[in-house]
Chain A
Amino acid sequence: MKRLLDPDSLRALSRGSAVLGAGGGGDAYVTLLQALQATEDFGPVPLVDLDELPDDALVMPCAGVGATTVILEKFENGDEGARLREHLEFVTERQVAALMAIEIGGGNALLPITWAARIGLPVVDADGIGRAFPEIPQVTMHLAGIPASPAVMTDERGNLVVFRTISGDWMERLARAAAVEFGGAASAALFSLTAAKARGATVRNSVSKAISIGETLAAATGSPVDALLAKMGAFQLASGKVLDVERHTTSGFVRGSVVIEGLGEDAGRLIRLELQNENLVALERGRVLASVPDLITVLDAETADAISTEVLRYGQRVTAIAFACDPVWRTERGVAVAGPRAFGYDFDYVPVEELAGATT
């Protein structure tokens, strides 16, 4: 066991996962309270390394699927995880040994901890993205050829659906339709896999990384933004204020853009962020400063807390930063699934450090 996830580490995880959410992944506040209550009622959850699990142990990736605004009102009962585990064991005829966050970015990072506390299982120090992405197939398990099926989805009432789909895209379509019927949000276990496979098909140590980001922010004695830049090896795109926010819905996703007007050292600059739930591309005068699959996060200029795309507003003082994604997303297959062209942009992916090098 690496550590027990006590309330302090959960708070740090919540802040860190917001930074890794790259503007998306949903509000981490309700999910933090859920994890804190489950920990208070059932005891802290052990965080384990995949190497600690037997090769054939089944790992259950957990996801809240649906509209993040719905979760602000109607959040989980808490027993969904137990039900998902029971039925996943039934359809796979294997025992679940540990839970895993499908994505470390945003609220989904804490969901498996709430469930694991109640079930009495550990959570693995890994996730399926290393950040947040909008679509179900945009996970490292998919890149590794592990199918999303059989997947199980449930709601707070006890309704349960088992999905066996022919592709990740079909999983996306069917899971979304079911989530809407459940009331806009549902709980799911998908891409279940053995510990042996998970060692090569996930982003390792990402829970520890998110916790240490949160701890860095809390411990910063000077500027938290500077502390974060140093810790992440991140590049500051611009510091200034939000000049314009434009959002609209296209086929279920919030798309739009944010314009940041530089202040201080960045006076005179205008940075435009394009977003689809997450921040996808940062542009300046038509030049790309950073793009998916690298992470672009907008921080509160003062506290360095990540600001999700939904709460960006005119006049906020912010610092936009960018940093490298997990190397798996920079492979040919990774870029095909989550690079600029996968989101409809007509340019090739260039790593953020090369773009930053060209600037300075």
Chain B
Amino acid sequence: MRRPDYRLGIDVGGTNTDAVIMDAADRVIAKAKVPCTPDITGGITAAIDAVLRAPDVTPSRITHVMLGTTHATNAVLERRHLRRVAAIRLGGPATHSVRPMFGWPRDLAEAVSVGAIIVDGGIEFDGRELSPLDTDAIARFLGDVGEATEGVAITSVFAPVSSRHELEAAEVVKRELGEVHISLSHEIGSIGLLERENATILNGALVGVARDVADAVRQALTTHRLAPATFFAQNDGTLMALDHALRYPVLTIGSGPANSVRGAAFLTGNSDSLVVDVGGTSTDVGVLVNGFPRESSLGVEIGGILTNFRMPDLVTIALGGGTVVTQGPNGLQLGPRSVGYLLTQQALVFGGNIPTLTDAAVAAGRAELGDPAPTGRYRRILTEALARADTMLADAIDRMKTSKEDRALVAVGGGSILVPDRIPGVSEVIRPDHFDTANAVGAAIASVSGQIDRIFHMGTEGRQAALDEACNEASEHAVAAGADPATVSIVELEEIPLAYLTTPSVRIRAKAAGSLGGMAPPPAIRGTGESAPARRAGQVGGHLTGHVEELRRKP
């Protein structure tokens, strides 16, 4: 891999595709924001073309491309472009009481599944075999589901303790079906069979979507005769190599908000503050802890399916620069409709005839954009709308705060001109340069991570040996994903003892992150200097009040 020189960060959102080019000194030397197109390829191509044509850019110096996208999430929500998957659970005779995909929205299950089976197999918590793997049953099932299968998702009970049955089952699939995409749960999720199985099935369904995005980027770069190393951003704000992302596209779900929080951190130099990202249609409020987005502590729902991903802990409200202001029969109506990427044609200040929150911000003097004159006629409702938007924003920010002390707020995103300078509970509003492309910057500066979440048995070596083993494994994963070994450090560590077992056992979750060669190392774990060793457990992490409109946690 070449030593990093220029990095191209791309964020494919719901409204716009943003791109930035950063040099080796982490300066933004070019940026572009273009409206998304229905096929996404058009938007990606236009954004890449725009930054490569910028005056200070020598395209051949681009060594790395980092890509973040909400495309996978949207594919699930819209049930579009999904592949059809055969789901195999290795766990019988246990676990028959909840079958695979039970509780999924019917239309999503129909769009994704060609069939599901529970066969005998799986692992016990202590690594023993739950039951011998029934390879014949797998072969028969594959024969039954037949031609329609575009992918196979394999989930074993206690795969985080041992992956051997999943690997054995994968061999059977290869023998029976030849070249077919196989998703293995131990590479995707953590403890929690149903949530991990859901994520593994979704992964198989999203393979085509990830390939489309990757192909669009590759095509656009090939036109410019470029072939840089390509990475995908994942839901924790760190990167994985392209080949890994194509095998595990579900891990890119949630990368959009993670990137904007990381980008906000980088652009301001803050590693702990509140972040608000105002887009065209919605606003996310997140919290930066130790340079990373605070994660929600419970599993999140994606399109009505519970998963156990650690996602950025967010409050999302339907408020953006394009939010439409109307005078309805019951008084002022604020959104949720947005003019989206048509803002520059339809908003009053741009010569259109639809009053939006951008018009309200301009009328109030918060921004200078277009021609403020046409807003005069709507002054009363625009003033009222902005006041209501300010209250909604202040409430969302308050919900994310974990102490009553005033905190700094970093405002990013194209719509952040809406954010007032004074907000209750906020000590100052920081508006960094390049605020409008913070998410693409977040992708470009991201580090590479690896993580593990499994059960360890404390033998004679005791607790510290288990913690060390966990940290080593997480670091190895980070290096395998492309991190420079010299910069890898543990950024998150949590241990949860297991009750009711005579052998002391503990579930350990560890995450390591490192930079691409030649870049600054990520911050080390917070709290290691504090007295009690147990403080490390639970020290880093989220709280329960956050939620995302579309990505909801379980009830």
Contact = CB atoms under 8 A, between A and B. Distances in A.
A156 interface: yes
A245 B124 contact: no
A211 to B, nearest CB: 15
A317 interface: yes
A277 B93 CA distance: 28
Contact of B191 (A73, A179, A244, A317): A73
B94 A76 contact: yes
Contacts of A245: 537-538
Contacts of B268: none
Interface string A261-300: 1011001000000000100000000000000000000001
A33 B103 contact: yes
B294 interface: yes
B534 interface: yes
B99 interface: yes
Interface string B97-122: 11100110000000000000000001
A184 to B, nearest CB: 5
A242 B543 contact: yes
Given A245-B538, A247-B534, A312-B538, A70 B93 contact: no
Contacts of B497: 247-249, 254
Contacts of B403: 241, 261, 263
Given A78-B97, A317-B402, A73 B157 contact: yes
Interface in B540-555: 540-545, 554-555
A75 B94 contact: yes
B404 A30 contact: no
A303 B555 CA distance: 9
B126 A184 contact: yes
A83 B499 CA distance: 26
B500 A314 contact: no
A6 interface: no
B545 A300 contact: yes
Interface string B145-162: 000000000000110000
Nearest to B125: A184
Contacts of A156: 93-95
A254 B504 CA distance: 10
Interface stretch (A61-69, A145-153, A163-171, A229-237): A61-69
A69 B541 contact: no
Contacts, number: 182
B125 A72 contact: no
Interface residues of B, number: 60
A69 B502 contact: no
A249 B542 contact: no
Interface size class of chain A, counting residues whose CB lies under 8 Å from the partner chain: 35 or more
B97 A76 contact: yes
A268 to B, nearest CB: 10
B336 interface: no
Interface string A314-327: 11111000000000
A68 B554 CA distance: 18
A315 B498 contact: no
A73 B192 contact: yes
A37 B99 contact: yes
A301 interface: yes
> Binding site of B, secondary structure by majority: helix, strand, loop or mixed?
loop
B499 A69 contact: yes
B487 to A, nearest CB: 26
A91 interface: no
A33 B98 contact: yes
B544 A302 contact: yes
Nearest to B103: A33
Interface string B497-515: 1111111111100000000
A27 B125 CA distance: 17
A299 B459 CA distance: 36
Interface string A45-79: 00000000000000000000111111011111111
Contact of B545 (A11, A261, A310, A317): A317
Nearest to A27: B192
B532 interface: yes
B50 interface: no
Contacts of A179: 500
B538 A313 contact: yes
Given A33-B102, A247-B537, A252-B500, A77 B96 contact: yes
Contacts of B535: 244, 246
B422 interface: no
B128 A183 contact: yes
A176 interface: yes
B191 A72 contact: yes
B191 A315 contact: no
A14 to B, nearest CB: 9
Contacts of A310: 496
A82 interface: no
A7 B258 CA distance: 36
Contacts of A190: none
B298 A311 contact: yes
Contacts of A177: 502
A307 interface: yes
Contacts of A15: 555
Contacts of A313: 297, 538, 541-543
A311 B98 CA distance: 23
Residue among A36, A74, A277 with max Cβ neighbours from chain B (10 Å): A74
B499 A74 contact: no
* Most chain A Cβ neighbours within 10 Å, of B92, B96, B306, B505: B96
A75 B98 CA distance: 8
A38 interface: yes
B237 interface: no
Interface in A204-263: 241-242, 244-249, 252-254, 256, 261, 263
Q: What 6 A-B pairs come out closest when comparing CB atoms?
A: A78-B97, A156-B94, A245-B538, A249-B497, A316-B543, A183-B124
Given A72-B192, A316-B543, 20 more contacts: A37-B98, A69-B191, A69-B507, A70-B125, A74-B125, A75-B97, A75-B98, A76-B96, A77-B92, A77-B95, A78-B97, A114-B97, A180-B502, A184-B125, A241-B403, A242-B538, A249-B499, A302-B545, A311-B298, A316-B297
9 contacts: A34-B98, A37-B97, A77-B92, A77-B94, A77-B97, A134-B499, A180-B501, A183-B128, A245-B538
